[in-house]
Structure 1
Amino acid sequence: MTPPPTAAPALPAPATADPRPSRDPGAGRRTHPATGGALVLVGMLLVALNLRAVVTSLGALLDEVRDGLGLSGATAGLVTTLPTIAFAGLGALTPWLVRRVAPARVLVVAMLALAVGQVLRVATDSALIFVLTSALALSGIAVANILLPMLVKQHFPHRTGLVTGAYTMALTVGTTVAAASAVPIAHAFGSWRAGLGVWAAMAAVAVLPWVPLALRTRAAARRATPTAAVAAPTRVRPARTRLGWAMAVYFGAQSLSGYAIMGWLAQLFRDAGYQPESAGLLLAGVTALGVPIALLMPTLAGRLGSLRPLVLGLTTASTLAYLGLALAPHGAALLWVALLAIGQGAFPMILTAIGLRARTAEGTVALSAFAQSTGYVIAALGPLMVGILYEATGGWTAPIGFLLGALAVQTAAGMAIARPRYVEDE
């Protein structure tokens, strides 16, 4: 008969047991971030300011760029599709990269790529080099897109909603400022190159906080004892989980509507009788009203036990906005713009949900990469399908019907991710 456990003789402690604090830099980052929360937060906000400026500044000056470089219609279409291609393809490689290089060092390289790419693309007269250097700049954004939710989980696990709201608001501000000021800057300097190139300075500033963080991480790795036992992080594969696919579909469907709105809403209002300047202001209103929503939405998502009320509320706002745009685009334009801004709160909500639906930093970066890379493939269909339906029918009923269909898919995926659970458990 086997004796009870208490009858077993005491064994000596294993040789690896050590009451002293671990010198493993990975463990230090997981439990007590050695890099300092304030500097990480500042670095994240500066990175977020840059995440859409390179896209929206080009959109505002696309006609001038086409004339200046002699871009064909096909090449211009490729340039406007590059963001979703880069975000999908390069974003998927980020978890592999983070397993080998510290996130701070990755962000230094990403922001340098963004800055250098923006400088090089305004210094060329070649359409091919313009496309390639734009892709270089977008590669930095693609990596940063994936890393920010992971950094929130790693450094601010108890303030996920607040910090996600702060960097999402910074992203929205950067988007709005770049779209609104690119043309005036170009006019002030007499060239579209100034309107695009000025944002390279903002990317260079975003490098600065990450340099000391990267150096500190490298120094910590050198101080670690060669014999220290470091547990390899568990590989998380969201593509094998229902939650991962639901997150990807929700992210993709909301991004599809977002890109379609950015690309076609001004044209809809122009067709409804608004002057081009007024139509542009109405489009800018969607982004501007999104700033406070971007700050508040992650906080609400972090405090609610279930995301179901937010999912249904955002769907209701978007549905009313689409129906209003189809039936009375001119009569109550400001109301539809406000409802669209509320509906686009799905973006900061899903970014928050990425952190809420993973237990670990490794799970967060894997879920972030899968949801965003797969989602941006879906999102690329938005402007394309709206354009095809608009050209085929000559009106907005069919395009809005398509967006309502995408919204139904988004809602179904949202209900699937609403209840609390974790991707690692699946």
Structure 2
Amino acid sequence: MTTPPAAPRPGAHGGPVGVGLALTAVVLISVNLRPGASVLGPVLAELRAGLGMSPGTAGLMTALPGLCFGVVGALAVGLARRVGMTVGISLGLLAVVVGLVARAGTGSVPVFLALSALALGGMAVGNVLVPAWIKRHAQDGGVRLMTFYSAGLTLGGASAAALAAPVSGASSLGWRAALGVWGVVAVAALVPWVVIAVREHRDPADFRVGSTADIGTLWRSPTAVALTLLFGIQAMNAYVQFGWLPQIYRDAGLSATYAGLLVSLLTSVGIVGGLSMPTVIARSRTLAPWMVSFGVLMVAGYTGLLLAPAVVPWLWATCLGLSGFAFPTAIALITARTRDPRVTARLSGFVQPLGYTLAAAGPFAVGLVRDATQGWTVALLLLMSSAVVMTLAGLRVSTHVFVDDEIVRS
């Protein structure tokens, strides 16, 4: 198979999308692709009480983001081929707005789950298509826009988690206000994307994202497979940490408030990674030292939680937060390890759905192991071993190898 010549990038050559509009659109969408998932945890008890949600259904809620990101994300490239990348992203944001606003007003558990899936599916479309859109429009290969995008993803998720309880407590609507406000915020992101979609919907280059069948050829690309493992294992650990780290700290005798602050510390550290790693990737000859450090820090964090979780607990949270730099690294490598925006779209549609599907299994597996062993030791040891696999995958994508070339050779 040969890779077709790169499509022209209108934004990079003074086309219909200006630098300011592109930056605004990327920043606004990035901070709206995580709150719909991260806002639930802090108000889950109130949500369950308000809707009469069973423990089993609440457990499904924790896995729903990963499942939707995986399943719907796999369909995003096909959607972009039919309606264009920009219209596809706009439709995804519309689904986010409708889903988040409507679920805040329902009193039915099945309807709440369906609307949550709608919103998360819209986020999944953005997850896959925005990196490819950035690659097509950026003048510097995507470094600057990916920097804002990666940092915005973390900032949005952390902000939603941090503000959920205060908003719930300050409003007479309680948890409904905490959830619904993010649907209103998402309207601000929808506006610039609709403007861009109106300008670009007739541009043939906006439809050139490769086919779903083409994505299958990426299994023959060692870089694509390794990047999927890097992304998936880091995402799995992140979901485990968001879901179970507060309980680990509480089981060690810390208060619920302190445990929540420690999780906020972990996520806040990740913002630094989002701001720094795209530039590090662009300027580094090899990322090997970084990949090794991510693995070492992850093992150190879990070791601290195993041996002395209540002793300098902020240190273990910080170690895990620093190891989480692997997430913005993996996101940025989707653009950095491709040349043609169409290959970027295919790679994004390969890495993220598979990675998030793997990530969705993590919290369930950890919960099962904890219940079976009546403790955290085995679960933490398994998580440490995942750091080894993540490091090996990271080393494979550390050098400047392009997926485009591996596809040609296959």
Q: TM-score, normalised by structure 2?
A: 0.91
- 1:399-414 alignment to 2 at 5 Å? 399-414=379-394
**Residue 200 of structure 2 corresponds to residue 238 of structure 1:** no
Cα offset, 1:28, TM superposition = 5.3
Q: CA deviation at 1:123?
A: 1.7
Alignment-derived partner of residue 351 in structure 1: 331
> What's the counterpart of residue 419 of structure 1?
399
Q: Which runs of structure 2 are paired with 1:377-388 in the superposition (5 Å)?
A: 377-388=357-368
Report whether the alignment pairs 1:154 with 2:136. yes
Counterparts of 2:208 and 2:42, CA distance in 1: 49
Choose the corresponding residue for 1:259, options 239, 256, 271: 239
Q: Structure 1 232/326 Cα, relative in aligned 2: closer, same or farther at 3 Å?
A: closer
Could you tell me how far apart the structure 2 residues matched to 1:70 and 1:232 are? 44
Q: How does 1:297-336 map to 2 (within 5 A)?
A: 297-336=277-316
Q: Supply the distance in 1 between the matched residues of 2:167 and 2:52 (Cα, whole angstroms).
A: 21
Q: Any conservation in 2 of the 1:160–1:302 contact (CA below 8 Å)?
A: no
**Counterpart Cα distance in 2 of 1:271 and 1:161:** 42
* Match status 1:192 vs 2:192: no
Aligned to 2:196: 213
Whether contact under 8 Å (1:301, 1:310) holds in the other structure is no
Q: Which amino acid in the other structure matches residue 246 of structure 1?
A: A
**One-letter identity of the residue aligned with 2:152:** A
The answer for unaligned runs of 5 or more in structure 2 is 1-6
Q: Per-residue deviation at 1:204?
A: 0.8
Match of 1:279 among 259, 265, 274: 259
CA distance in 2, matches of 1:195, 1:406: 34
Letter of the aligned partner of 1:76 in structure 2? A
What amino acid is aligned across from residue 132 of structure 1 in structure 2?
A
Kept in 2, the 8 Å contact 1:162–1:295? The answer is: no
**CA drift at 1:413:** 1.2
Match of 1:340 among 310, 320, 327: 320
How far 1:219 moved relative to its partner? 5.5
1:162 Cα deviation (Å)? 3.1
Q: Secondary structure at the match of 2:39?
A: helix
Choose the corresponding residue for 1:175, options 157, 161, 166.
157
RMSD after superposition: 1.9
Alignment partner, residue 3 of structure 2: none
Instruction: Encode CA deviations 1:130-171: one digit per residue, 9 max, x unaligned.
Output: 111111111110000011211221122515333222111111
CA distance in 2, matches of 1:274, 1:157: 49
Whether the aligned pair in 2 keeps the contact of 1:302 and 1:352 (CA below 8 Å) is: no
Whether the 8 Å CA contact 2:11–2:17 is kept in 1: the answer is no
Letter in 2 for 1:169: A
SS at match of 1:209: helix
Give the TM-score of the pair, scaled to structure 1: 0.88
Q: Distance in 1 between matches of 2:208 and 2:176?
A: 49
Gaps of 5+ in 1: 1-25, 222-229
Q: Distance in 2 between matches of 1:151 and 1:232?
A: 10
Which protein is bigger by CA-based radius of gyration?
1
Do residues 120 (structure 1) and 102 (structure 2) align? yes
Question: In structure 1, what residue type is equivalent to 2:8?
Answer: A
How high is the sequence identity, in percent, across the aligned residues? Answer: 37
For these two proteins, the number of residue pairs brought into alignment is: 393
Structure 2 match to 1:16: none
**Partners of 1:233 and 1:143 in 2: CA distance:** 15
The DSSP-based 3-state class of the residue aligned with 1:27 is coil
Q: Which amino acid aligns with 1:167?
A: Y
- Distance apart, 1:45 and its partner CA: 0.8
